[in-house]
Structures are given as structure tokens and as C-alpha cells.
Amino acid sequence: MVNIPPYHIIVIGTGLAGLTAAISLSKAGHNVEIVEAAPAVGYIGAGIQISPNSSRVLRKLGVDKYIQKYCLEPIDLKMMSYHSGNVLVETPLKEPALQRYGSPYWHIHRADLHRGLLEAAIDLGVKVYLDNRVVDIDPYKPSLVTKTGAKFTADLIVASDGLWSIARAVVLGKPSPPVPTGQMCFRITVPTKKLEGLTGLDDLITVARNNHWFGPNGTMLTYLLEGVHGTMINLVLTCDARMPDGVNQRISSKKEAKEAFKDWDPRILKILDYADEVLEWRLFTHKEAPTWIHESNKLVLIGDAAHAMTPYLAQGSAMGIEDSAILGGVLARLPTPDTLPQALKLYEKLRVKRTAKVTAASIDSRWFTQMPDGPEQKARDEYLLANPGIMNGHKHNRSDQQFLDDLFGYNAFDELDKAFKEAVFRSKRPISHLME
């Protein structure tokens, strides 16, 4: 048997995509190091939704044992009218996730997820260099230099440096900054202990649900988190941008948030009275990149660096997690230097259509859920009330069976198996057929 030496891979960034990729590549047998700009692994006071398509990956990679005790499974997605809070439609989440898609839908605090991923990566032997912002990349060698002056050389650089990726410009040969969507959100977590006993809040602070309000030019979302910091209610309040030009994130106040949502469900305004920390976050997306691979075939983009999308479908990190499964999978099966270009091409081929489709669906969600007051909104609400639950051809993608099957039913590992089987059936020639 030929003994194939593993690749030495440098991952840029300890975001959700970078850490998952490090785990996946490590499990594929490669030596992985991560360089991260921040002095500590990121803490954002906010939750994240992990749908079955991404929980499937995390479970297969063994990350569940690090995070499961911090995960809540929402029973349903409850969609309401912004002003009255009247329910328009409820669609189940927990039961179809487990029964139809075979993997749970989770809510988790980002800090708990990050910590779990980091522990899993370190247990696999991944080395993490914090406080090492990458300032220069030589994609041909490939190597990179960090702000400390340290130089790292590898066989492959996997760039998961997020929305403002510097590697994206290196891959494309020109700057490709993210594009503002014109919207922002307030991100807030409030301990539910502070809210106990307040009239009208029981359902919101005791039942694991995904509560969603549709309003003119905005949405509100709340769900519960059960992390190391106790039980919290997580709020994401999206509206048209009210931030000064050039500011993309800043500490805000409950007064600002209440002002922006003053005509909305009074229950949320009541919760805001108890908020200590309010963050403002400008929302961006990326134009589709013509490629994610540098011509040297030694630098590749994943996660938001490749395809940042709007958050209206809560799928941004899910796509980065799926990317990581596919990249690890192709580099497990094509692990030699001469097959690296083919492996990267196959990764890109398997991921581009999927991420473009989900990006487009996320934009559709924005328009469907944020209609201004008027006849169109009224007709939408009447349609939703008349068409409860999940069915084929539903006008709202979160109730459309076919759409949900594609989104949540996606199995990155099956996709890999299918691609490799097809290559074998199509020809006895090398795997390069997959690139066509």
C-alpha cells in the first residue's frame, strides 16, 4: 500500500466555517493550523439557528458531543403579524427535522457553539494561532504573513476570513467587497429570569419556538437559548438601516431599538425594557464570485468569504458548514498533490449551485416577509391564513414542501458519494470528468 503523506493546510479564521473546516480536514487525515486575527475566539451576544442540513454535518464530525447540552429544539416556526401579533401560520420544525430529515433543528448561543467547535478542533490536534491577522498572502507558494511578522507556509490555504475577506480579493485578482442590503438589525439577548411573571410573555419565554413577526420593511425574530449563561431570549430585529454611513457595527441602546419598532407587538417592546446590551449590525451580501479557487490551486475560499448571503433564511453559516463537509470529503478521497486541482474544482462544482440557490431564496424571503402595509400585504396574510402548514407549491418558501426538502434534506455526505460514484460509472478515466 502506498503511504500518502497528509497535506499541511492553513485555515484563515476561527469563524463557524473555519473551525468546522479545520475539524473536517483534520478528520480527513490532514495536518491543520488556523490563524485568527482576534486575540480570543469570537463572542457575539447572539444565538444561531442550526437547521438539519448543518446539524447533520456537525453530528457526523462528532461536534454534537461538545454542544448538544446547549441546544434547544424549537417545536415550530410561528409567523405573526407585526402590529397585533396575530398568528398567520405555524409550521412544525422539530418533528419534520427528526422524522423527515433525520437530524435536529437547533437553537444555540454562538459562544457555546464556538467553544464546542474550538474544543473539538483542538482535541483533533489542530493548532490555533490567535492574534495573528493575515496581512499578506502568496497564493503560489502558498504562504501567508501575519501582523506579528510570522510566516506560515503550507500545501493549501483555506480562507474562511468572512465577509470582509482579504483572500477573496487575492483569488479574484481585484477587490470584491460585500454589498450593503440597505438593512440592519438589532441583536439582543435578555435572561428570561428578568421577564418571568410579566403579562403576556409566557409563551415567548418558556416554549422553544421560532417566533417570527412580518412587518413593513422589517421583521422580528425571537427564540430561546439554553447556554452556560442560563436561559435567554434571543432577539433579532431587522429594519431599514438607521446607522451612520461607514459604521457597520456598534453598541446601541434599547431606546434606539424601541424607536425603530414603536408600532410593533407591544410584548417585544416590553422585553426591550429589560435589555442591557443592544448591538446594531449592518447587513451585507456578496455578488456571486466567478470562482472560489486561485489559479495556483493552492488557495480556496469557503463560508462567507466565498458567498456571504442575507440572513433572512438563517442559512449563512449552514452553507459554510456544508462547504466544510464537502471540502474535507474531497480532500479525503483525492489526497495527493497531483489531484489537488481536481479536488478543489470538485468542491467548487458541488457547492456553487447550492449556495447560489439558497442565496436567492434568502432574498425572496426578505420580500415575502417585509411587505409594506397595503393590499399586497393583506392578500399575503389572507393567503397564509387560508393555507396553514407545509404543502407542495406553497407561496412562502418556509411552508413549501419541495423547497424545505431541498434545503433541509441536503446531505453533503450523500452528495459526495453520488459525485464519486458518477465519476466511476462515467468512465474509467480519471476523476477530472467531475469538473466538466
Ligand X SMILES: Cc1cc2nc3c(=O)[nH]c(=O)nc-3n(C[C@H](O)[C@H](O)[C@H](O)COP(=O)(O)OP(=O)(O)OC[C@H]3O[C@@H](n4cnc5c(N)ncnc54)[C@H](O)[C@@H]3O)c2cc1C
- CB of 167 or CB of 271, closer to ligand X: 167
Which span (12-20, 76-84, 363-371, 419-427) binds ligand X, by CB under 6 A?
A: 12-20
Q: Are 306 and 292 in contact (CB under 8 A)?
A: yes
Q: Cα–Cα–Cα angle for 364, 367, 373, nearest 5°?
A: 160
Distance between CA atoms of 88 and 22, rounded to whole angstroms? 42
Distance of alpha carbon 382 from alpha carbon 393, whole angstroms: 16
The answer to whether the CB of 169 falls within 8 A of the CB of 176 is yes
Work out the burial of residue 4: count CB atoms within 10 Å of its CB; fewer than 13 is exposed, 13-18 middle, 19 or more buried.
exposed
Instruction: Verify binding: residue 232, ligand X, rule CB under 6 A.
Output: no
- Taking CB under 6 A as the criterion, the residue among 269, 279, 314, 352 binding ligand X is 314
318 binds ligand X (CB under 6 A): yes
- Rounded Cα distance between 348 and 342, Å, is 10
Site string for ligand X, 73-102 (x = CB under 6 A): ------------------------------
Q: Using the rule CB under 6 A, is 328 a contact of ligand X?
A: no
- In whole angstroms, the minimum distance from the beta carbon of 241 to ligand X comes to 13
* Ordered strands of the 143-146 beta sheet: 134-138, 143-146, 151-153
Tell me which residue has cell 430585529: 237
Q: Is 57 exposed, middle or buried (0-12, 13-18, 19+ CB in 10 A)?
A: buried
Q: Which of 9, 10, 17, 361 binds ligand X (CB under 6 A)?
A: 17
Figure out which of the listed residues 89, 121, 185, 301 binds ligand X, where binding follows CB under 6 A: 185
Q: What would you report as the CA-atom Rg of the chain, rounded to the nearest whole angstrom?
A: 22
Of 66, 281, 403, 408, which one interacts with ligand X (CB under 6 A)?
281
Which of 342, 411 has the CB closer to ligand X? 411
Q: Is 293 in the site for ligand X (CB under 6 A)?
A: no
Verify binding: residue 15, ligand X, rule CB under 6 A: yes
Integer CA distances (angstroms), 138 to 154, 182, 294, 349, in order: 11, 35, 11, 24
Strand partners, 11: 34, 158
Which uninterrupted H or E stretch holds 79? strand 76-81
Distance between CA atoms of residues 115 and 19, nearest Å: 10
Instruction: Give me the phi and psi of 427, to 5 degrees please.
Output: -170, 160
The residue number with the shortest CB distance to ligand X is: 15
Give the pairing type, strands 278-285 and 249-251.
antiparallel
Q: Is 241 among the residues that bind ligand X (CB under 6 A)?
A: no
Closer residue to ligand X in complex, CB, 43/413: 43
Q: Does 188 bind ligand X (CB under 6 A)?
A: no
Cα 193 versus chain centre, distance: 29
- Near ligand X in 138-167, by CB under 6 A: 160-163, 166
Q: Which is nearer to ligand X, 306 or 330 (CB)?
A: 306
The three-state secondary structure class of 186 is strand
Please choose, out of 13-21, 122-130, 289-297, 411-419, the segment that lies near ligand X by the rule CB under 6 A: 13-21
Among 6, 33, 38, 45, binds ligand X (CB under 6 A): 38
- Tell whether residue 362 is a contact of ligand X (CB under 6 A): no
Indicate left, alpha or beta for 389 from its phi (over 0: left) and psi (-120 to 50: alpha).
left
Shortest Å distance, C-beta 29 to ligand X: 23
Site membership for ligand X, residue 243 (CB under 6 A): no
Pairing relationship of beta strands 87-92 and 76-81 according to DSSP bridges: antiparallel
Q: What is the DSSP string of 81-96?
A: ETTT--EEEEEE-HHH
Asked if 55 interacts with ligand X (CB under 6 A), we say: no
Q: Which of residues 115-134 bind ligand X (CB under 6 A)?
A: 133-134
Query: Minimum CB separation from ligand X for residue 192, in Å?
Result: 19
Give percent helix, percent strand, percent coil of the chain, each to the nearest 5. Answer: 40, 25, 35
Residue from 9, 11, 12, 225 that binds ligand X (CB under 6 A)? Answer: 12
Which residue, 397 or 432, is less far from ligand X as judged by CB? Answer: 397
Task: Select from 311, 330, 384, 411 the one that contacts ligand X (CB under 6 A).
Answer: 311
What is the closest distance, in whole angstroms, from the C-beta atom of residue 150 to ligand X in the complex? 12
Does the footprint of ligand X cover residue 35 (CB under 6 A)?
Answer: yes
The residue range among 64-72, 79-87, 286-294, 313-321 that interacts with ligand X, by the rule CB under 6 A, is: 313-321
Which of these segments, 11-19, 64-72, 367-375, 410-418, binds ligand X (CB under 6 A)? Answer: 11-19
Under the binding rule (CB under 6 A), the answer on residue 13 touching ligand X is: yes
- Which residues of this chain interact with ligand X, rule CB under 6 A? 12-18, 35-38, 42, 48-49, 133-134, 160-163, 166, 185, 187, 236, 281, 283, 303-304, 311, 314-318, 320
